[in-house]
Amino acid sequence: MIKSTLAAAKVGICEHSPKNSRLYEHGRNGWTVLNTMSFRLGRDARAVERITVESWRARGWPPVLDNGLAYDGYTETVSLRVTSAAEIWTAVCSAVAATAKPSELVI
């Protein structure tokens, strides 16, 4: 997911079902879904998210705040000023290869 007003990208996990409103809520808050990936097990999606976010933090890339304020899911964000959506998706795919089988991971 990206939010152009923050120049931020986000990875996140959500259940792919009609009862889940998480993507809708993020959309209402200005986020746009770029890619999704389905996993058979939620633990695999969590591992990919963890590996991806840890790689950002290891590079010294902090989460993106909104005018200095935290918001829902901000810990899984990175600035698009230091990386690109395409580079993030490549990293997500590499994390998948390092974990297991392709729940729902969204970027």
Cα separation of the two ends of the chain:
4
Query: Domain extents for the chain?
Result: 2-106
pLDDT tens digits for range 22-36: 888 888 999 999 998
pLDDT tens digits for range 46-101: 999 999 999 999 999 999 999 999 998 999 999 999 999 999 999 999 999 888 55
Whether pLDDT at 5 is above 90:
yes
- pTM comes to 0.86
Q: Give the pLDDT score at 32.
A: 95
pLDDT tens digits for range 58-68: 999 999 999 99
Cα torsion through 64, 69, 75, 80, rounded to 10? -10
Nearest 5°: CA angle at 41, between 104 and 2?
20
